[in-house]
Structure 1
């Protein structure tokens, strides 16, 4: 199926229903579809043809929604750009995929002159005056002739987007995803992620595929998108109450910020029906607090990655309600398969840790312009994720660590997520991350970086005693660092590479 199908269906069945709410702007399906067709016509007038790449570098807005649909409307491919990247990384991604057009908002318009090879056309989609040399977004829509949907000759196998991932070592990789890859039918069938006719809250970055997946699911079942520029706890709580939102995507750090916010009890959150979380491990203690803060809400954990468009497994609301497997990432979604393999690709016994491998119609076509990397990731029909995990007898997957992040201390394997989960259960801890750092005696030692709750103090020995009361003693941190905040990616993932970099050259103050 094509990703524009949901828009045509909504236009046919509920043209006057609200589709987007962004700040003071609210638009119906009919009004949004007209603007999308006109924006598609403007892209065609700018020379965009089927298969061309159209990039967006902007914060969340209703214009992001229009850009996605309009690009697909004429058979082109989207390239949502990471707003936290350096100018060099942004330049690389635009040059690598050969983007024909770049959309920028007010926050990023000043960056365009610094791009080494800017696209042929730049469209300013902010609210400030349009800078010289750029096309004005609203001017294009006002003057363009609506373009007919380019359905003829298209199929679900056509390229829908290039989504860049990585960039921490070497160069970013552009994940090529088709319309079928992104369609998300299996995700909704497996987890009831969105409420039919409901209101999806967007505060996670729309450039991230996880938010795009939920945006698409809400389109499939019909409803409204309530769009915030980004995540800010007070604004999210206010939006839930004001707009009576029903669903949202929130990464664990966002959920923790909400449940820790002092004004949470003063907000009416009763409209919420589902909260999807993922992108990084959720400490069980934080999850249980969130479930108490949002009673009656189905919490759904989604495990996956960009290469899996992005959902591979789901831990459903019913799974959460049972409380039996809260540390699991769930079971394979309806659109795919999961197995745990050894280094040769052979499936291991249940309960044995190996590499998580995925197969199904949601798996990427490959990396843009990188056939060798594609061949390494896609072997014998399976995507090899680089994540370590195991599967229990009922098919539930437990993610233990990135294989490259596993700590080998004194000859023992230590999985950082297990240690983090133990540390997070201490009442004085608000968040933490565990990494391996070089150690002359142990090869690597377990190092914990911890953010404490306001007004609390802890010592390294107190952390070690607490951790050893929950997991094996050799897994307890041998060194501890207390910080005011952890470095986060735009998607809310803790950036362990930055924590490792900060340790280089530090003296060794570990416990022996």
Structure 2
């Protein structure tokens, strides 16, 4: 198994088919393959050798699609950098990984002096933007134009394919080591389900391309010979325009993105009839957003993918036919390539319907954390990845994620899972987003608190919302307090950062 095998197949089967579209620029698979081979030669000319780490700090583009093939083609290791990190986090990941070459576009070129001053291992900056190449950098397009194609070394199987740094929600990020086998197993499993991508698909990169979820779609599209359409970054209006203009059939987004697209005031003004399949994941989606999506796009086939970076990333899939009452809050059944169990604190399987830790086994499970053997040993036990997510499996094999174990609220001796409370809140008209956390309480240990973002025209009080929630869930789970916020803190992957919310309340209390 190797990351470039989908490109090789398309070069043979559909060389003249459009491979990439970015703005007014497009390339066929034959042109893309030639560019990848030439850029790999250019990297080798810069001194990139077997196992060297080549990072990218860039908005989405067709060059990002090429990056994911050219780096392994040159026998190097991927390191896509989270574009929403602080400069300190970016510098940390570059130093921790020992990155030698960094691809950087126009948006991040102003960071170059700080990077070169703080990252001694980074010997070369390659400019992969559309503007003039800044002084001290090497032009991406010049490397493509000035080098003859080289043969693919076919770095493969259990060899390290990339370092994928976690979102840094619990301190500095960890580098997740994923092999070619890990990544291809996950992509093939998702494709085998039939839920995302077909051979005639046009896939929109709406999610940030540094994120592993989008890479799974990227690899799947390459395996099937689909057309990649890239937009620089997620913006709801541009997503609507691009779907209509390029007749997009498949897209992957996180729930916060879906909510912003379907609730956009112009959503009904665009022809979205080409869109056939939408896969979502990255965080729990509320029932309210799901129902509004189905109302706007009744023909759309929705699939939820649950997983994490350490699982390359897919573990379970909730297919289109399972998006029915009673299963809308499920994460799905084990994907074709994975096995899922629920284990207790001692590592023993729990009875059906009992909440425990979700654990996953399969060829998609990571090699480990880069230079962190103790942290690797803490989560990898006998080949099983201990996810840190609490959940249960019902009698039909459907996995339900109830909360991050660390986010579970204990109030008056009762366990409250924030996802259930957030699901109830989402059904109240005028709620855009919510996050439920536990606040310290001398009497109860913790009390349930909701942070809510209203729709622009919404007019309701905390009392109205609490009364609504009381009609849907047990009283001890109902928020005792509500704050209305302009926005919720988000990670680069679109996940709500409850850690930041808890920290802000702790600071206020202090």
| TM-score, normalised with respect to structure 2 | 0.97
Pairing of 1:147-166 with structure 2 (within 5 A): 147-151=150-154, 154-166=155-167
The whole-number CA distance in structure 2 between the counterparts of 1:396 and 1:206 is 29
Aligned to 2:388: 386
The whole-number CA distance in structure 1 between the counterparts of 2:457 and 2:32 is 49
Q: Which sits farther off after the overlay, 242-251 or 446-455?
A: 446-455
Pairing of 1:213-224 with structure 2 (within 5 A): 213-224=216-227
- Contact kept, 8 Å, 2:19 with 2:27, in 1: the verdict is yes
Q: Which sits farther off after the overlay, 158-167 or 451-460?
A: 451-460
The whole-number CA distance in structure 2 between the counterparts of 1:442 and 1:114 is 48
Pairing of 1:83-94 with structure 2 (within 5 A): 83-94=83-94
Secondary structure of 2:507 counterpart: coil
Aligned to 1:282: 285
**Is 1:417 the equivalent of 2:419?**
yes
Aligned to 2:192: 189
Q: Which sits farther off after the overlay, 13-22 or 495-504?
A: 495-504
Secondary structure of 2:378 counterpart: helix
Aligned to 2:148: 145
1:473 shift after superposition: 0.6
- Contact kept, 8 Å, 1:447 with 1:478, in 2: the verdict is yes
Cα 1:507–1:50, aligned 2, differ >3 Å: closer, same or farther?
closer
Find the partner of 1:326 among 325, 328, 334.
328
- Contact kept, 8 Å, 2:169 with 2:497, in 1: the verdict is no
**Is 1:266 the equivalent of 2:269?**
yes
Secondary structure of 1:434 counterpart: strand
1:428 shift after superposition: 2.3
1:465 shift after superposition: 1.2
Aligned to 1:74: 74
Cα 1:442–1:191, aligned 2, differ >3 Å: closer, same or farther?
farther
1:334 shift after superposition: 0.6
The whole-number CA distance in structure 1 between the counterparts of 2:77 and 2:250 is 27
Find the partner of 1:473 among 472, 475, 481.
475
The whole-number CA distance in structure 1 between the counterparts of 2:9 and 2:419 is 43
1:156 shift after superposition: 1.2
The whole-number CA distance in structure 1 between the counterparts of 2:195 and 2:412 is 45
- Contact kept, 8 Å, 1:277 with 1:302, in 2: the verdict is yes
- Contact kept, 8 Å, 1:407 with 1:436, in 2: the verdict is yes
Secondary structure of 1:123 counterpart: strand
Secondary structure of 2:202 counterpart: strand
Aligned to 1:65: 65
1:191 shift after superposition: 4.2
- Contact kept, 8 Å, 1:53 with 1:78, in 2: the verdict is yes
1:68 shift after superposition: 1.1
- Contact kept, 8 Å, 1:124 with 1:135, in 2: the verdict is yes
The whole-number CA distance in structure 2 between the counterparts of 1:214 and 1:491 is 15
Aligned to 1:53: 53
1:159 shift after superposition: 0.8
The whole-number CA distance in structure 2 between the counterparts of 1:254 and 1:214 is 16
The whole-number CA distance in structure 2 between the counterparts of 1:473 and 1:181 is 44
Cα 1:487–1:170, aligned 2, differ >3 Å: closer, same or farther?
closer
1:323 shift after superposition: 3.8
Runs (4+) off by over 3 Å: none
The whole-number CA distance in structure 2 between the counterparts of 1:176 and 1:463 is 44
The whole-number CA distance in structure 1 between the counterparts of 2:54 and 2:462 is 51
Pairing of 1:218-297 with structure 2 (within 5 A): 218-297=221-300
Aligned to 2:179: 178
The whole-number CA distance in structure 2 between the counterparts of 1:136 and 1:182 is 29
Secondary structure of 2:243 counterpart: helix
1:464 shift after superposition: 1.6
Between the two proteins, the alignment pairs up a number of residues equal to 505
Aligned to 1:313: 316
- Contact kept, 8 Å, 1:245 with 1:272, in 2: the verdict is yes
Q: Which sits farther off after the overlay, 299-308 or 187-196?
A: 187-196
- Contact kept, 8 Å, 2:85 with 2:492, in 1: the verdict is no
Pairing of 1:402-481 with structure 2 (within 5 A): 402-481=404-483
The whole-number CA distance in structure 2 between the counterparts of 1:495 and 1:168 is 7
The whole-number CA distance in structure 1 between the counterparts of 2:156 and 2:507 is 54
The whole-number CA distance in structure 1 between the counterparts of 2:195 and 2:15 is 24
1:457 shift after superposition: 2.4
- Contact kept, 8 Å, 2:57 with 2:81, in 1: the verdict is yes
The whole-number CA distance in structure 1 between the counterparts of 2:182 and 2:472 is 41
1:35 shift after superposition: 0.7
- Contact kept, 8 Å, 1:195 with 1:246, in 2: the verdict is no
**Is 1:356 the equivalent of 2:346?**
no
1:110 shift after superposition: 1.1
Secondary structure of 1:225 counterpart: strand
Secondary structure of 1:505 counterpart: helix
The whole-number CA distance in structure 1 between the counterparts of 2:366 and 2:245 is 38
- Contact kept, 8 Å, 1:285 with 1:425, in 2: the verdict is yes
The whole-number CA distance in structure 1 between the counterparts of 2:107 and 2:455 is 33
1:155 shift after superposition: 3.2
Find the partner of 1:340 among 342, 365, 373.
342
Aligned to 2:303: 300
Secondary structure of 1:345 counterpart: coil
- Contact kept, 8 Å, 1:191 with 1:316, in 2: the verdict is no
Secondary structure of 1:506 counterpart: helix
Secondary structure of 2:341 counterpart: strand
Secondary structure of 2:406 counterpart: helix
- Contact kept, 8 Å, 1:80 with 1:163, in 2: the verdict is yes
Find the partner of 1:212 among 210, 215, 223.
215
Cα 1:137–1:289, aligned 2, differ >3 Å: closer, same or farther?
same
- Contact kept, 8 Å, 2:15 with 2:30, in 1: the verdict is yes
- Contact kept, 8 Å, 1:191 with 1:314, in 2: the verdict is no
The whole-number CA distance in structure 2 between the counterparts of 1:449 and 1:29 is 47
